[in-house]
Structure 1
Amino acid sequence: MKHMKHDMILSPSGWRKVFASSGDEKDTFPDIGEKNRIIAALAADTFADYILAKRQNPAIILGIDTRPTGPQIADTMLRVFMARRIAVSYAGIIAAPEIMAYAHTADAFVYISASHNPIGHNGIKFGLNDGGVLSAEENASLIRAFEAKCDENNAGERITEVMSKCSEIDLEWVFAESVAVMREATSIYRSFAKTTISGTDILPKQNKFFALVRAFVSENPLGVVCDMNGSARTLSIDSSFLREIGMNFMAINNRPGQIAHEIIPEPENLVYVASEMERLQAEGRKDIKIGYMPDCDGDRGNFVVWNGRTNKAEVLKAQDVFALSVLSEIAYTIYMNESLPDRPSSGGALQPNTNGGTETKIAVAANCPTSMRIDDIAAAFGASVFRAEVGEANVVNLAREKRNEGYTVRILGEGSNGGNITHPAAVRDPLNTLFALLKLIFIQDSERGDGLFHLWCKASGQMDKYESCKNDFTLIDVLDTIPKYATTGVSEKRAILKIKSEDQATLKKRFQEVFEAQWDAQKDTLKKKYGFESYEAVATNGTDEKRGIGDFSESGRGGLKILLKGGDGKPLAFIWMRGSGTEPVFRVMADVSSAVPDYIQAERKLLEWETKMLLKADAI
């Protein structure tokens, strides 16, 4: 075995491949085979070089999700780390937000997971002690080192010799200590969750926030249902945390590894938790109001809410979940921070601070294909929106950059995938999303000031809607007030293309030629039918967004968006494209405002138009 061909997809969001020894992405057998064992060992050796160059005597934490191949990958990587004299704590099965919170106590973490990919896949995420995965730049450096190791002569023999130097007695001790590690991680994660949800690390203020929650649910019983789908969250704090606050909590598919259906938490898989909510409601459990489903590593989660008008459980679209979270957390930032500008007046944006305090600039960081719903919401509150390329690491690092520029960025995330990241967390967490949604209900008008939904309705000029339901509003009422858009779902078949071109920059240059010809030929029709009078091309690479690019190939392997604008120059819609960094597919989508006539049909037509142009460009 001279050179090792690793066939991994390497991105800042994680290194992923089918680790099942059969090569079948649906395979549930735990064996990874010799080749994959060598690949995992070389990845560990690469990270060992990286962390030893940064720290003397480093300590790292390693954990897995519930995929069947996780234990064998973990055993392999532990042997390398221990042979390299790195102190490693093994957390076993642990949710991604939990290990990343726990990582604050160490120098780095390694997490074995393929997130939402099918069960035969697995992968590796690397991070330091800042609570998030490595930046795109740091990850790129790691990738180069890993590929160099794979290209070495006798790579397999060399790394096998390294692993042989691991003491079996020491390895047994690490496994024996994993129970204590998991217990400590749970305690730290619980404290971190309280800080993130409440927005303060001051214990009396946290207690005041959660006392408000307990008081509300004591008068308005609230039941939460989770379809764990055998994920790492089966061993996390969800049940105990919510019950301590006074909520009723139920779960289905609640054993680790009990993966009952596809892993990705999109509408086609949220039907199971919706069905359970409807079953419980039919049995008289009128407290059942909200449900969620995480992916296998327990960070991404999407939601279902009870619709009392239809007596049905309503699956929320990923973009709507993020929009509601943005609405809630911007309003909560205003509600909690007296140094912010004054409360919005009816029908207008925030007014300047007249109290002599330092004005805080509120901002949201999102990925490029996040719907323009959030731009409209942010504008109503006088907040800014900044965009990065797809990839959680890109959004997290963009938020950090903007904080360094003086912005308050409490809410960030990838609206195209759902869920949200709430600062100081640097990873998505269903609990943070759950509380973002519930804050809209819990925090109502009081002596402190207007509640969150009240603040939103004032800012967006919808006080009539607030007045009509202010005494008993639900999340469905809040949902009715957010800007209306038709947006392609990330998991829809029509959103995924197979492209032959390997050079994405060249493909996008060819797409530009096709698009410009189509625009010239159809601009009168586009204006008459949809109101589009101009366009602007936007490229996102890492944390950098370039507006008004003249050469579409500037987007390279990053995101390319075409904003379609009305006569006033404001965007009415966009089409977007990017090759996936974690799967061998090319993703496309369209986002269309309800200001466009027949906007739901327009979204379908625009996506069809984009697809035809891309396939034509691919064939050139």
Structure 2
Amino acid sequence: MLTESFSGIRGIFNKDLTKEVIENYALSYASFLKNKKPNPLVILGMDTRPSSPIIKEYMKKIFLRQGIDVHDVGFNTTPSIQHGVRHYNADGGVIISASHNEPMWNGWKFLRETGSVLKPEEIKEVIENSKSPENPDSKTRGKSEDRGSELRNAYVDFIMEMIGEKGIIAIQDAKLKVVVDPNGGAAATVIRDILEKLNIRIVEKNMELGVFNRLVEPNEKSLAYLAYYVEDLDADIGAGWDCDGDRVELVIPNSSEFSKKRGRMLSGHYILGLIVEAILSEYDGNNKYVVVNDATSDLIKDIAQKHDAETVEVEVGEINVVEKMEELNAPVGGEGSSSGGITPPSRCRDGILSLVQILHLMAKRKQRITEILEEFPEYYNERAAIECNPDIAVKIKEKLKEYWENQEHIKEIRTTGDETGGLKIIRKPTKEGPGWIWYRASKTEKGKFRIISDAKQREYADKLLGMGEKAFNDCVTDVELESVDAYLEKE
């Protein structure tokens, strides 16, 4: 099934993503850009899945016929391609990737001149116009230049600039050891160069581009083997990326109370927590804001409060976080629910920058990662994805809101976005501590409704998730019965 949302376009190549679909989207995006500027420049890059070069060539052909100049940057990470838009003062960009989906999937994201993905109203326009694009070829053909190697070098320089000279020296002096697994994805194009510049002792796994030896999504199952290397080689950390390199998952040493309690795989919320700690501990500006999505653990709020910073919540979606960060001039933000930290001038999650920022924090404090984590408050985050008819998703959300409004011990009910956005049920503190339940119909996986709970005790987080699932199932039943009743009345 072709998925079209503000997060991008995604489907199975040669099934959902046909040549016609690919070319129509390229035509629609070309029209979008040319409405702003007659002869735009586009950065065109991709991840390493087998269909990416084919899609790239289809799109490039259309752009050139439309009179659009193309900097073809080939295999590069999503953060690198987004950096490329700013680096080359381009008018837009295309990232060909299906992120964490398996290799038979692919897709693309369209970028703004800032390097961020299109705003919801902009991608809506591109999606609608892709259904019947009518763009005559330009009288002047666009020019194509290969800039892949040049951009990779520029991105390495960008990472060094973000850390700064003092940070580079601190990391170099720490002589850290890291096990890396890009799984043949785009992160393999730059990770060695970056870590070698930082004097990191690197243990490399799965570095051959386009060869996927594990599941593309880095998670507890696909990265379980890294725990053995981290332990046996006395490494400081293990890191695994998805196919486009915007998401990193970390495996920590098994030598602390933290890892004994929580396991070896570090949750995305704690990864974001480390990044927030790293940024705010050095930030001396006036705009002390941390912007997160509404599915992010309260862990981040606690860390922000320690640094006298305010946490602002928005609807799930990278562009929502980025837009609010720009509005507030916030120094850091991200989505703990999807393992991502965002640090300006970046306009996206960056799995490589996140790793380097965490290494900098470790080096600066002369602490192991587990020692830093043990100083953080404890939070537990549980989740479920339930199959749901997408046609009734909005009604279910409305029914859930009504359901929880009639329950006891509710402190606050929050909503974000429009009728399809998030619904957050914040319970009054109990002897088990504070906690909340969150709902949202997935916009990247049609037919799935996501439920997340967050609490300071694992047992309470499990309990809240169970309560959330029960409420959801009850509301689905009510909505379905109402639909049957309405049908019978018509008959």
Whole-angstrom CA distance in 1 between matches of 2:165 and 2:368: 25
User: C-alpha distance in 2, partners of 1:498/1:234?
Assistant: 35
Cα distance in structure 1, aligned partners of 2:414 and 2:122: 25
SS state at 2:252 partner: strand
Amino acid at match of 1:38: E
Tell me the C-alpha RMSD between the 2 structures: 2.5
1:377-396 to 2 correspondences below 5 Å = 377-396=303-322
**Cα displacement string for residues 362-393 of structure 1 (whole angstroms, at most 9, x for unaligned residues):** 11011110000011111121100011111111
Pick aligned residue for 1:510 from 371, 389, 399: 399
1:538 corresponds to 2:464: no
Superposed CA offset, 1:254-273 (max 9, x none): 11111112112222222132
Give the counterpart of 1:300 among 230, 242, 247.
247
Question: Contact 1:294/1:300 (CA < 8 Å) preserved in 2?
Answer: yes
Q: Deviations over 1:458-499 (max 9, x none)?
A: xxxxxxxxxxxxxx642111111211111015xxxxx11101
The reply to whether residue 365 of structure 1 matches residue 228 of structure 2 is no
Higher Cα radius of gyration: 1
Equivalent pair of 1:20/1:121 in contact (CA under 8 Å): no
Once the two structures are superposed, the pairs formed by residues 112-127 of structure 1 within 5 Å of their partners are: 112-127=96-111
**Which residue number corresponds to residue 201 of structure 1?**
none
Alignment of 1:30-429 (within 5 A): 36-104=18-86, 105=88, 106-149=90-133, 174=144, 177-178=145-146, 181-196=147-162, 198=163, 206-214=164-172, 216-217=173-174, 221-235=175-189, 237-279=190-232, 281=233, 286=234, 288-309=235-256, 314-333=264-283, 337=284, 360-403=286-329, 409-429=330-350
User: 1:501/1:127 Cα in 2 relative to 1: closer, same or farther (>3 Å)?
Assistant: closer
Partners of 2:236 and 2:368 within 8 A in 1: no
Gapped runs of 5+ residues in structure 1? 1-6, 24-31, 150-157, 199-205, 341-359, 404-408, 445-471, 490-494, 524-532, 542-554, 594-598
Aligned to 1:454: none
CA distance in 2, matches of 1:510, 1:430: 38
How many residue pairs get aligned? The number is: 472
Aligned-partner Cα distance in 2 for 1:512–1:563: 12
- Residue 166 (structure 1) shift: 11
Kept in 1, the 8 Å contact 2:245–2:351? The answer is yes
Give the 3 Å change call, closer, same or farther, for CA 476–209 of structure 1 in structure 2. closer
Query: 1:545 aligns to what?
Result: none
Q: How far 1:45 sits from its partner (Å)?
A: 0.2
Distance 2:462 2:473 in 1: 17
Distance 1:501 1:141 in 2: 22
> Quick one: distance in 1 between partners of 2:97 and 2:202?
26
Q: 3-state DSSP class of the match of 1:193? A: helix
Query: Contact conserved, 1:501 with 1:618, CA < 8 A, in 2?
Result: no
What SS is found at the alignment partner of 2:211? coil
Unmatched tracts of structure 2, length 5 or more: 479-491
Using the TM superposition, give the Cα deviation of residue 501 of structure 1 relative to its aligned residue in structure 2, in angstroms.
4.8
Which residue identity does 2:9 align to in structure 1? W
User: TM-score, normalization: structure 1?
Assistant: 0.72
Partner of 2:10: 16
Offset of residue 141 of structure 1:
2.3
1:613 partnered with 2:471: yes
User: Following TM superposition, by how much is the alpha carbon of 1:253 offset from its aligned partner in structure 2, in angstroms?
Assistant: 0.9
Partners of 1:94 and 1:190 in 2: CA distance: 12
Counterpart of 2:354 in structure 1 is 433
User: What amino acid does structure 1 have at the position aligned with 2:67?
Assistant: R
1:601–1:571 Cα change, 3 Å:
closer
Q: Which amino acid aligns with 2:64?
A: M
Q: Percent of counterpart pairs with the same letter?
A: 29
Deviations along 1:84-117, one digit per CA (max 9) or x if unpaired, are 1111121111111111111111221111111112
Cα deviations by residue, 1:444-467 (Å, 9 ceiling, x for unpaired): 4xxxxxxxxxxxxxxxxxxxxxxx
TM-score for the superposition, normalised by structure 2: 0.90
User: Are the aligned partners of 2:238 and 2:250 in contact in 1 as well (CA < 8 Å)?
Assistant: yes
SS in 2 for 1:270: coil
CA distance in 2, matches of 1:62, 1:534: 48
* Divergent runs of 4+, >4 A: 309-313
Counterpart check, 1:476 vs 2:370: yes
8 Å Cα contact 2:227-2:251 kept in structure 1? yes
| Partner of residue 558 from structure 1, selected from 421, 425, 433 | 421
Q: How far 1:162 moved relative to its partner?
A: 6.1
Q: Give the drift of 1:577.
A: 0.8
Q: Which residue of 2 aligns with 1:499?
A: 388
Distance 1:516 1:245 in 2: 53
Map Cα deviations across residues 307-353 of structure 1 (whole Å, 9 max, x no partner). 335899922112111112212211121xxx3xx5xxxxxxxxxxxxx
SS of residue in 2 equivalent to 1:10: strand
